[in-house]
């Protein structure tokens, strides 16, 4: 009888512990919509890689303590197949069928905008990295009844990034050239992102005293030689290959062969990729990454991050660093949930995100959202020593305090 | 493809191999001109209508319903393409651009003048029809592959104009619109209501296609398709009819484009480029341009195939290519023809149908 009593006590204790554990392991559903197939796959995979790493780290650390409950992140990852219709179907599924509390993605402006028209009315938070969202994130859109009230841009405003990038490129290249550079050509893909980004970058270079010509190429171009020959005729001091790292990696060797300019800037090409591809130029070349380089970062925490990121099997590519536009915001969101004390109050979470800060991997300075739901952080620019593939000199350039003349912000 | 006599299989006089060949020929024939009995047509229409109306109630989820909406507005555009290709024999590989004309017209009217879907729809459809007619002008001088190249060029040009159109067209970033203006008691922000809106438009497109196909106008178009010179020699105003059908096709495309705009609520030039246009041509060929439900079948196959089989875009393109080859080789009339042939093979062959036959669409 005594043994039976003991047995019952142990069983009851076990049951209580099991219930406690079950209560402790409540699920926080978070959606990820990204291209895991199709033409945007290299950008899309970085979102998935960052989400997996962040969720794993948060869960391994015990989850998110909200009120008296602890939540483990449950990711619902959907492949948008680089198709806006599939993106919308996936957003509907995540928001209405599954009931996620927040969505990370997508990799492209059009898809993110269409998605925000679903997440907004449903009060689901959306974290998108597209800096071109700046074109629509205004006072009216982010107001409490605005369609982008629950959308956050996890990349700096484009005038900030353009300003820091332009300044960094010029300060690294100027000592390498016989005379200070005066004439720049910006070479960019003629698509939504390219148009938006280059409009700010041209103004940033002009603010630095450059005479700037803009040359656009159709997005699917593979033979750049006719346009590059035209650029050579313009006799530029610097050719800036802007925005699309994949296209730049095709165009840059063609430019070297044609001897288009005495110096180059390659936006979105990581030093790691430059080294892996054994690229070599007899003229000075500068590189910058979105947002921080994985191949040559001055920050130890960034290096640690990429070791873990690649350790999970993520591919090393020109866009790998884009994953950092998504990683930190998982932790920041978790911190906001803990502070608010409940997961079903998106308005309070938005308010908390807007008044809090977070020191993450992407920036040594704490991240803060401005009133238009955008963050600010510095840009890393590196220079490759001529005739080498692995000798880099990197500098971190802070963004300017205000947009340059002629740039209306955004 | 000529209709094949399947009586040999019934008499047992022919050898087994010949019977098998006859059966294959029966299943692969294009019998668009042979109508099904009126009762069968009515039952098919009712069953299809019930299924489509009941779809939001079947508990298939928002993802399924979203893809269904995409399928339906695509099918509306395809009905226009089906008319010009299936009835008049004029193929286009730039049809997405015509949808884009409607979508952009409506979006620009919304951004510049604040007009919603209902107010902008007639203008958008009319503009698409006019543009369809203008692009059709070269068909009066050239046909076949020449016209196909012209439509492709129009598509490419359209995208370039939109991409470089500044704030008026939103450039490459595109344009945003608000929700569909609610009707009394109906809020179209609710996905099922949005579905019924598109379904109602599809219903109109199917009815219009049926009426055109079974009218004197439809018979005239088929006469032009079969022999343009002969049609001209018997006094048919071929030029007028060709332009007419291209304008009707443009009306359908405009309607589809506006519905697409208000479903996505954001459009950009890439939606109306060469790839989407080629997909539309593929869909109409897969489904069967000469069959009443062919465009709908084509839209369902192409939109749902990657979803059901979990295909990525590369696999999907391979699958579509293989499907198209199989259709060209085995089912020149498209999947619609195959379904009809299977039905007729099960229920006793085409002979009776052929005797009833006229030039209607089944």
Minimal C-alpha gap between B306 and chain A (Å):
10
Residue A110 in contact with partner chain B when CB distance is under 8 A: yes
pLDDT at residue A82 tops 50: yes
Q: Which residues of B touch A39 (CB under 8 A)?
A: 313
Q: Which residues of B touch A109 (CB under 8 A)?
A: 173
> A195 and B313: CB-CB below 8 Å?
no
Q: Which residues of A touch B176 (CB under 8 A)?
A: 113, 136
Choosing among A45, A78, A99, A117, which should be mutated to test the B contact, i.e. which has the most B CBs within 10 A? A117
pLDDT along chain B (362 residues), means of 10: 38 59 61 76 93 94 96 97 93 95 98 96 98 89 84 93 92 91 92 96 96 93 91 92 95 98 94 92 93 94 89 85 87 86 75 50 46
Q: What are the Cα distances from residue B188, in Å, to B16, B178, B193?
A: 59, 11, 5
Q: Which domain holds residue B265?
A: 62-349
Residue B63 in contact with partner chain A when CB distance is under 8 A: yes
Q: Please provide residue A378's backbone torsions phi and psi, each rounded to the nearest 5 degrees.
A: -75, 170
Residues in chain A: 410
> A192 and B63: CB-CB below 8 Å?
no
A177 and A263 housed in the same domain: yes
A103 and A122 housed in the same domain: yes
A31 and A54 housed in the same domain: yes
Of the pLDDT bands very low, low, confident and very high (cuts 50, 70, 90), residue A410 is low
Tokens of A376: 């600010």
Determine the residue of chain A that is closest to B191 in CA distance.
Answer: A92
A22 and A62 housed in the same domain: yes
Residue B141 in contact with partner chain A when CB distance is under 8 A: no
> A114 and B266: CB-CB below 8 Å?
yes
Q: Which residues of B touch A81 (CB under 8 A)?
A: 306, 312-313, 316
User: Look-up: residue for tokens 């696999």?
Assistant: B315
User: Residue B175: what pLDDT?
Assistant: 94
> A89 and B70: CB-CB below 8 Å?
yes
- Which residues numbered 111-170 in A keep a CB inside 8 Å of some CB on B? 113-114, 117, 121, 132, 135-136
Tokens of A272: 């790691």
Q: Which residues of B touch A197 (CB under 8 A)?
A: none
Residue A17 lies in a domain: yes
Residue A136 lies in a domain: yes
> A93 and B66: CB-CB below 8 Å?
yes
Contact by Cβ (8 Å): B84, B224: no
CB-nearest partner of A190 from B65, B163, B265: B163
A145 and A174 housed in the same domain: no
Cβ neighbours around B64 below 10 Å, total? 18
Minimal C-alpha gap between A114 and chain B (Å):
6
Q: Which residues of B touch A82 (CB under 8 A)?
A: 313
User: Residue A2: what pLDDT?
Assistant: 56
**CB < 8 Å & 24+ apart, contacts of A47-50:** A47/A104, A47/A105, A47/A106, A47/A107, A47/A129, A47/A322, A47/A323, A47/A326, A48/A77, A49/A309, A49/A312, A49/A314, A49/A323, A50/A104, A50/A309, A50/A323, A50/A324, A50/A325, A50/A326, A50/A327, A50/A330
How many domains in chain B? 1
Of the pLDDT bands very low, low, confident and very high (cuts 50, 70, 90), residue A232 is very high
> B171 and A132: CB-CB below 8 Å?
no
pLDDT in tens, A34-66: 998 887 888 898 999 999 999 999 999 999 999
> B174 and A110: CB-CB below 8 Å?
yes
A11 and A137 housed in the same domain: yes
Residue B305 in contact with partner chain A when CB distance is under 8 A: no
Under DSSP, the state recorded for B325 is H
Residues forming a β-bridge with A65: A70
CATH of the domain at B230: 1.10.3470
Nearest to B258 by CA among B116, B93, B132: B116
A360 and A385 housed in the same domain: no
Residue B356 lies in a domain: no
* Mean per-residue pLDDT, A175-193: 93
Nearest to B29 by CA among B343, B293, B258, B309: B343
pLDDT in tens, A84-123: 999 999 999 999 999 999 999 998 888 999 999 999 999 9
Residue A215 in contact with partner chain B when CB distance is under 8 A: no
CB-nearest partner of B173 from A88, A92, A135: A135
CB-nearest partner of B61 from A82, A93, A136: A93
pLDDT in tens, A319-361: 888 898 899 999 999 999 999 999 999 999 999 999 999 998 9
ipTM: 0.81
Residue B11 lies in a domain: no
Rg of chain A over Cα atoms, rounded to whole angstroms, equals: 24
Residue A92 in contact with partner chain B when CB distance is under 8 A: yes
Residue A208 in contact with partner chain B when CB distance is under 8 A: no
Residue A85 lies in a domain: yes
Minimal C-alpha gap between A71 and chain B (Å):
26
Residue burial B269-303, b: 16+ Cβ < 10 Å; e: rest:
bbbbbeebbbbbbbbbbbbbbbbbbbbbbbbbbbb
Strands across the sheet containing A64-66: A64-66, A69-79, A26-34, A102-104, A125-128, A151-156, A374-375
User: Residue A24: what pLDDT?
Assistant: 53
User: Residue B6: what pLDDT?
Assistant: 39
pLDDT in tens, A142-163: 999 999 999 999 988 999 999 9
* Mean per-residue pLDDT, A188-217: 93
> B312 and A81: CB-CB below 8 Å?
yes
Q: Which residues of B touch A79 (CB under 8 A)?
A: 312
* Mean per-residue pLDDT, A131-152: 93
How many domains in chain A? 2
Average pLDDT, chain A: 90
A29 and A112 housed in the same domain: yes
A275 and A318 housed in the same domain: no
Q: What are the Cα distances from residue A168, in Å, to A152, A178, A238?
A: 27, 18, 13
Return the higher-pLDDT residue of A9 and B343.
B343
Residue B271 lies in a domain: yes
Determine the residue of chain A that is closest to B61 in CA distance.
Answer: A97
Between A204-213, A287-296, B25-34, B85-94, the lowest mean confidence (pLDDT) is in B25-34
Which pairing describes strands A125-128 and A151-156: parallel, antiparallel, or unpaired?
A: parallel
CB-nearest partner of B66 from A92, A135, A191: A92
What span, in angstroms and rounded, lies between the C-alpha atoms of A268 and A275? Answer: 14
User: Look-up: residue for tokens 């193929």?
Assistant: B91
Determine the residue of chain B that is closest to A36 in CA distance.
Answer: B312
Residue A76 lies in a domain: yes
A118 and A64 housed in the same domain: yes
CB-nearest partner of A97 from B61, B176, B265: B61
CATH of the domain at A143: 3.40.50.2300
- Which residues numbered 117-136 in B keep a CB inside 8 Å of some CB on A? none
CB-nearest partner of B173 from A83, A117, A196: A196
User: Residue A336: what pLDDT?
Assistant: 97
Q: How many CB pairs under 8 A join A and B?
A: 88
Burial class (CB in 10 A: 0-12, 13-18, 19+), B252: buried
A78 and A136 housed in the same domain: yes
Residue B157 in contact with partner chain A when CB distance is under 8 A: no
> B314 and A37: CB-CB below 8 Å?
yes
Residue A51 in contact with partner chain B when CB distance is under 8 A: no
State which H helix or E strand residue A393 sits in: strand A392-397
What span, in angstroms and rounded, lies between the C-alpha atoms of B267 and B277? Answer: 16
Tokens of A45: 């995979």
Q: Which domain holds residue A215?
A: 159-295+378-397
What span, in angstroms and rounded, lies between the C-alpha atoms of B259 and B330? Answer: 34
A59 and A132 housed in the same domain: yes
pLDDT at residue A402 tops 70: yes
Rg of chain B over Cα atoms, rounded to whole angstroms, equals: 21
> A37 and B313: CB-CB below 8 Å?
yes
């Amino acid at each position: 009888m005594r043994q039976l009593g003991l047995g019952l006590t142990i069983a009851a204790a076990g049951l209580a512990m099991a219930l406690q554990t079950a209560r402790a392991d409540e699920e926080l559903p978070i959606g990820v919509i990204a291209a895991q197939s199709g033409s945007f796959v290299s950008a899309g995979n970085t979102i998935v890689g960052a989400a997996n790493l962040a969720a794993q780290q948060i869960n391994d650390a015990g989850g998110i303590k909200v009120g008296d409950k602890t939540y483990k992140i449950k990711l619902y990852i959907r492949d948008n197949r680089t198709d806006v219709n599939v993106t919308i179907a996936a957003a509907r599924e995540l928001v209405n069928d599954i009931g996620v509390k927040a969505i990370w993605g997508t990799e492209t402006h059009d898809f993110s905008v269409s998605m925000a028209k679903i997440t907004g009315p449903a009060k689901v938070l959306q974290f998108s990295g597209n800096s071109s969202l700046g074109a629509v994130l205004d006072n009216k859109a982010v107001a409490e009844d605005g369609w982008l009230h629950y959308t956050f841009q996890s990349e700096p405003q484009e005038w900030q990034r353009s300003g820091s990038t332009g300044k960094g490129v010029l300060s690294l290249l100027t000592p390498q050239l016989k005379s200070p550079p005066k004439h720049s050509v910006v070479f960019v893909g003629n698509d939504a992102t390219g148009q938006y980004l280059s409009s700010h970058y041209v103004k940033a270079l002009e603010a630095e005293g450059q005479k700037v010509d803009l040359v656009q190429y159709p997005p699917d171009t593979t033979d750049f030689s006719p346009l590059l020959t035209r650029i050579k005729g313009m006799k530029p001091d610097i050719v800036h290959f802007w925005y699309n790292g994949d296209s730049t990696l095709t165009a840059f060797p063609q430019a070297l062969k044609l001897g288009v300019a005495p110096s180059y800037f390659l936006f979105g090409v990581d030093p790691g990729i430059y080294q892996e591809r054994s690229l070599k130029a007899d003229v000075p070349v500068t590189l910058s990454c979105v947002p921080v380089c994985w191949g040559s970062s001055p920050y130890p925490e960034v290096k640690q991050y990429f070791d873990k990121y690649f350790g999970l099997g993520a591919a090393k590519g020109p866009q790998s660093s884009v994953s950092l536009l998504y990683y930190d915001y998982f932790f920041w969101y978790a911190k906001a949930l803990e502070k608010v004390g409940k997961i079903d109050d998106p308005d309070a979470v938005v308010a908390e995100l807007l008044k809090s800060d977070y020191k993450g991997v992407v920036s040594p300075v704490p991240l803060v959202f401005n009133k238009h739901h955008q963050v600010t952080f510095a840009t890393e620019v590196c220079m490759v020593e001529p005739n080498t593939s692995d000798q880099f000199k990197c500098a971190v350039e802070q963004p300017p305090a205000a947009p340059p003349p002629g740039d209306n912000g955004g | 493809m000529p209709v094949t006599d399947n009586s040999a299989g019934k008499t047992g006089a022919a050898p087994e191999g010949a019977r098998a060949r006859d059966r294959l020929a029966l299943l692969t024939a294009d019998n668009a001109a042979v109508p099904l009995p009126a009762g069968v047509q009515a039952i098919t229409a009712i069953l299809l209508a019930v299924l489509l109306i009941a779809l939001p109630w079947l508990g298939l989820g928002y993802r399924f319903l979203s893809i269904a909406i995409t399928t339906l507005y695509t099918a509306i555009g395809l009905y226009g393409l089906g008319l010009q290709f299936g009835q008049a024999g004029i193929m286009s590989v730039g049809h997405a651009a015509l949808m884009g004309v409607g979508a952009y017209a409506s979006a620009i009217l919304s951004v510049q003048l604040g007009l919603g879907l209902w107010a902008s729809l007639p203008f958008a459809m009319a503009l698409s029809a006019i543009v369809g007619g203008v692009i059709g002008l070269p068909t009066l001088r050239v046909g076949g592959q020449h016209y196909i190249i012209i439509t492709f060029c129009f598509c490419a040009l359209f995208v370039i104009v939109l991409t470089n159109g500044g704030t008026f067209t939103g450039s490459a970033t595109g344009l945003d619109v608000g929700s569909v203006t609610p009707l009394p008691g109906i809020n179209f922000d609710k996905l099922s209501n949005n579905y019924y809106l598109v379904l109602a438009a599809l219903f109109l497109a199917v009815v219009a296609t049926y009426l055109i196909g079974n009218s004197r106008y439809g018979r005239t178009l088929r006469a032009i398709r079969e022999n343009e010179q002969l049609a001209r020699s018997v006094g048919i105003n071929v030029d007028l009819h060709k332009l007419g059908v291209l304008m009707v096709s443009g009306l359908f495309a405009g309607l589809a484009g506006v519905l697409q705009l208000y479903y996505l609520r954001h459009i950009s030039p890439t939606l109306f480029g060469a790839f989407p246009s080629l997909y539309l041509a593929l869909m109409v060929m897969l489904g069967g341009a000469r069959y009443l439900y062919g465009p709908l079948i084509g839209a369902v196959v192409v939109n749902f195939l990657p979803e059901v089989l979990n295909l990525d875009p590369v696999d999907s393109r391979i699958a579509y290519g293989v499907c198209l080859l199989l259709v060209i080789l085995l089912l020149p009339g498209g999947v619609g023809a195959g379904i009809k042939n299977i039905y007729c093979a099960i229920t006793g062959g085409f002979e009776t149908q052929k005797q009833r036959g006229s030039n209607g669409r089944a």
